[in-house]
Chain A
Amino acid sequence: MSIQDSVLPQGQPRLALRGISKRFGAIVALDGVDFEVYPGEVVALVGDNGAGKSTLAKIIAGVYHADSGTIAFEGQEVAISSPEAANALGIATVYQDLALCDNLDVVANLFLGREQGPRQLPIALRWTQEDEMERRAREVLSSLSIHLSSLRRPVKQLSGGQRQSVAVGRAVLWGSKVVLLDEPTAALGVEQTTMVHRLILQLRELGLSVVLISHNLTDVFKVADRIIVLRLGRRVGTFITGQTTTDQVVAAITTGGTEAAEGIV
């Protein structure tokens, strides 16, 4: 599945970080990094261990605070002070562990912490509107082309790819505009990985911005529109997936050289 038909991003980025720096003691994790993702775009954030990609992801997710630099969400300068603040803006992070409750069913997991019910009652007396929740869950999952035989099975009975779908579905259900995926295929087999690729492309179809953090360049070339390479805390390369080769990206990751596509964006 090639991405040749993808268009170059235009207009205003949905999320733009400028000149982000972050130190941990004497270690400079990020040094003046820019990052941007557009609506309906899949951006892969790649780099070797210690390149700074997970630090950058955690700054976007509100877990870390940048020492300097600015963040703009849909053109407005914002401060992402906490994970809750990130969620409130519409930035959802799907961590590798997926944060699912294995003993609860799909619907309960999708709505966890935001159950529908009569708001005026205290939570011990507030019933959950299960059927309404199930209906909405079904809508969202089918918009992602996820078809599960039953939404009332505990998620521990689902496959790895289906579990990933549920975690991503949660982000979509709550109207997130940017979805960060942290190594989504790390623990998956071939078939499950294909399923996650489709899911990512479907998110793009829905106009969401996807930030894919991955070690796996095969993944990246299958689904990403652009590839941003970090090396030793700096952004050393930006590639349009359809116009680049794996070797170029690998070279950027390992030596920081071959800035073939730098400046296109």
Chain B
Amino acid sequence: MRNLLPKVEDSVPHEVVSYSQSLWDKLLNRVRSGEWEPWPVVIGLILTWLLFQSLNGNFLTPRNLSNLVLQTGVVGTLGIGVVLVLLLGEIDLSLGAVCGVCASVLGVLITNLHWPGIPAMLVTLLIGMLIGLLQGAVTVYIGVPSFIVTLGGFLAWQGVQLILLGDAGELIVLDPIVQSFASSYLTVFTSIVLGIFIVAIVLVNLLARRRSRRRAGLEPSSISTAILRLVGVIVGTGVAIILFDAYFGIPYMVVLLLIVVALLTWMTNRSVFGRYVFAIGGNAEAARRAGIHVKTVRLAIFALASTLAALGGILSVSREFAVSTGTGGGTLLLEAIAAAVIGGTSLFGGRGQIYQALLGALVIGSIENGLYLLGQPASTQNIATGIILVIAVSVDALSRRRQQTS
């Protein structure tokens, strides 16, 4: 009987997509499958930088780039939370307001109640998490769409922020530890050690993965890709260190963001929990039938996103030495959502990476910063950011349609 069953590939040749194609086809395949997702955005970012540099020689100076990175820290942190909820196919409109209310809590604890910095920050993060749990529970257990729950949260937490800040509407926050994130820098020596550490981690990781594949009897992933990736990391880290050290050095905030991105990237891409997040974003019903506790995972993500918004609040206070009624307001939330989407995270769930929030935040920050240097008003900045956002979502929608019809 067995010989009556020819191998599938023998009789149905075009079932199998051949990968022994030209280099160009390989590249095209990779771009389509999302494997090379960052490159269009990275190239766009570099072109933007070159454009602004040609228009104003101050743009690509270490001083301006260092400022740019600090400016994008808060948007980027909130954007990471946005990436997490978007992966599930949900949305959180309250992250800006949570950022503001948590910054206010931090202000009240430090300035009014004279708490030391570290416990105050921990309580601030905890409150952010509780807000996320509350909103997540209403979404998950009562079944109200997250759009509505977090829209309600957006309004309510803004109200709480006004109450916390009182009549003055502002609290000056002078705590050396809180301030250090935005105004303390690694020494040149420490930053070089950090750079070597990062490269070493990437190298060890690449080697471990190759060895693991060989042990499982699988063909190892291509050595050229691995070397390319390693070279990319070395060059990127080196350039960043040189640029930062040409000014004051690497701000603590950057180190903190790197740690957050590394941990969450590991969690989303390597852990079982992360697998469940992608599965729910791809097909929630299939995930449920596979025995995944869909509700618990969704609740955890809402809590995590809100905690990140609280961290954004802390970073905002760190930068401005103060919290006001405007903290967390304005276009902050919209920029965070735009950052995630411009970076390449899908609005439709199931596709996205943590780093994309920072990449997108850097794009938005560069446009604002560059247009500001050129003396353009906020109106021009808003128009430019809006256009780029719509282009990014269009690219997402088009690639999605192509994948469905292919």
> Which residues on A are within 8 Å of B, measured CB to CB?
1, 5, 83-84, 97, 99-104, 108, 112-115, 117, 123-128, 130-132, 134-135, 138, 145-150, 153-154, 156-157, 159, 161-162, 165, 191, 194-195, 198, 201-202, 205
Q: Give 7 closest A-B pairs by Cβ, nearest first.
A: A113-B290, A101-B282, A131-B216, A103-B282, A103-B350, A99-B286, A124-B273
A187, B42: Cα distance in complex, Å: 41
Cβ-defined contact, A103 with B8, below 8 A: no
Interface centre among B5, B9, B19 (most CB of A within 10 A): B5
A127, B18: Cα distance in complex, Å: 31
Given A112-B290, A131-B213, A150-B19; A156-B8 close (CB under 8 Å): no
Cβ-defined contact, A125 with B212, below 8 A: no
| B287 lies within 8 A of chain A by Cβ | yes
23 contacts between A and B (CB under 8 A): A101-B287, A101-B350, A102-B283, A103-B278, A108-B279, A124-B267, A128-B271, A130-B212, A131-B215, A131-B218, A135-B216, A135-B217, A147-B7, A149-B17, A149-B19, A150-B19, A157-B403, A162-B15, A191-B12, A198-B5, A198-B6, A198-B8, A201-B5
A123, B281: Cα distance in complex, Å: 17
A191, B404: Cα distance in complex, Å: 20
Q: For residue B12, which residues in chain A have a CB less than 8 angstroms away from its CB?
A: 161, 191, 194-195
Cβ-defined contact, B212 with A126, below 8 A: no
Q: For residue B6, which residues in chain A have a CB less than 8 angstroms away from its CB?
A: 198
A147, B9: Cα distance in complex, Å: 6
Given A84-B291, A99-B290, A202-B5; A123-B273 close (CB under 8 Å): yes
Cβ-defined contact, A161 with B282, below 8 A: no
Q: How far is the CB of A114 from chain B (nearest CB, A)?
A: 8
Given A154-B33, A161-B15, A191-B12; A145-B7 close (CB under 8 Å): yes
Given A123-B273, A148-B16; A156-B217 close (CB under 8 Å): no
| B142 lies within 8 A of chain A by Cβ | no
Cβ-defined contact, B7 with A113, below 8 A: no
Cβ-defined contact, A135 with B218, below 8 A: yes
Cβ-defined contact, B9 with A156, below 8 A: no
Size bracket of the B interface: 35 or more
Binary contact readout B283-298 vs A (1 if CB under 8 angstroms, 0 otherwise)? 1011101111000000
Q: For residue B279, which residues in chain A have a CB less than 8 angstroms away from its CB?
A: 101, 104, 108, 112
Cβ-defined contact, A195 with B8, below 8 A: yes
Cβ-defined contact, A131 with B273, below 8 A: no
A1, B290: Cα distance in complex, Å: 35
Cβ-defined contact, B33 with A113, below 8 A: no
Nearest B residue to A202 via CB reads: B5
Q: For residue A108, which residues in chain B have a CB less than 8 angstroms away from its CB?
A: 275, 278-279
Cβ-defined contact, A145 with B283, below 8 A: no
Given A124-B271, A131-B213; A113-B8 close (CB under 8 Å): no
A128, B1: Cα distance in complex, Å: 38
Q: For residue B19, which residues in chain A have a CB less than 8 angstroms away from its CB?
A: 149-150
Given A112-B290, A150-B19, A157-B33; A101-B270 close (CB under 8 Å): no
Chain B interface, DSSP helix/strand/loop, else mixed: helix
Cβ-defined contact, A126 with B283, below 8 A: no
| B276 lies within 8 A of chain A by Cβ | yes
| B406 lies within 8 A of chain A by Cβ | yes
Q: For residue A103, which residues in chain B have a CB less than 8 angstroms away from its CB?
A: 278, 281-282, 350-351
| B4 lies within 8 A of chain A by Cβ | yes
| B228 lies within 8 A of chain A by Cβ | no
| B272 lies within 8 A of chain A by Cβ | yes
Cβ-defined contact, B287 with A112, below 8 A: yes
Cβ-defined contact, A156 with B404, below 8 A: yes
Given A101-B278, A102-B283, A201-B5; A113-B292 close (CB under 8 Å): yes
A128, B279: Cα distance in complex, Å: 14
A130, B272: Cα distance in complex, Å: 11
Query: Other CB < 8 Å A-B pairs besides A124-B271, A126-B272, A149-B17, 13 of them?
Result: A100-B286, A101-B282, A103-B351, A113-B292, A114-B290, A128-B275, A145-B7, A156-B403, A157-B17, A159-B15, A161-B15, A194-B11, A195-B12
A103, B404: Cα distance in complex, Å: 11
Cβ-defined contact, B33 with A101, below 8 A: no
A138, B217: Cα distance in complex, Å: 11
Nearest B residue to A113 via CB reads: B290
Q: For residue A138, which residues in chain B have a CB less than 8 angstroms away from its CB?
A: 218
Q: How far is the CB of A138 from chain B (nearest CB, A)?
A: 8
Q: How far is the CB of A26 from chain B (nearest CB, A)?
A: 31
A114, B287: Cα distance in complex, Å: 11
Cβ-defined contact, B403 with A149, below 8 A: no
Interface members, chain B 1-56 (any A CB < 8 Å): 1-2, 4-9, 11-12, 15-19, 33
Q: For residue B289, which residues in chain A have a CB less than 8 angstroms away from its CB?
A: 83, 99
Q: For residue A165, which residues in chain B have a CB less than 8 angstroms away from its CB?
A: 8
Q: For residue A153, which residues in chain B have a CB less than 8 angstroms away from its CB?
A: 33
Cβ-defined contact, A125 with B5, below 8 A: no
Interface centre among A99, A101, A159 (most CB of B within 10 A): A101
Q: How far is the CB of A263 from chain B (nearest CB, A)?
A: 28
Q: For residue A125, which residues in chain B have a CB less than 8 angstroms away from its CB?
A: 271
A198, B12: Cα distance in complex, Å: 12
Q: How far is the CB of A112 from chain B (nearest CB, A)?
A: 4
Q: For residue A154, which residues in chain B have a CB less than 8 angstroms away from its CB?
A: 33, 403
Q: How far is the CB of B207 from chain A (nearest CB, A)?
A: 14
Contact of A132 among B216, B273, B287 (CB under 8 A): B216
Q: For residue A126, which residues in chain B have a CB less than 8 angstroms away from its CB?
A: 271-273
A101, B294: Cα distance in complex, Å: 14
Cβ-defined contact, B4 with A127, below 8 A: no
A131, B279: Cα distance in complex, Å: 19
Q: For residue B282, which residues in chain A have a CB less than 8 angstroms away from its CB?
A: 101-104
Nearest B residue to A6 via CB reads: B1
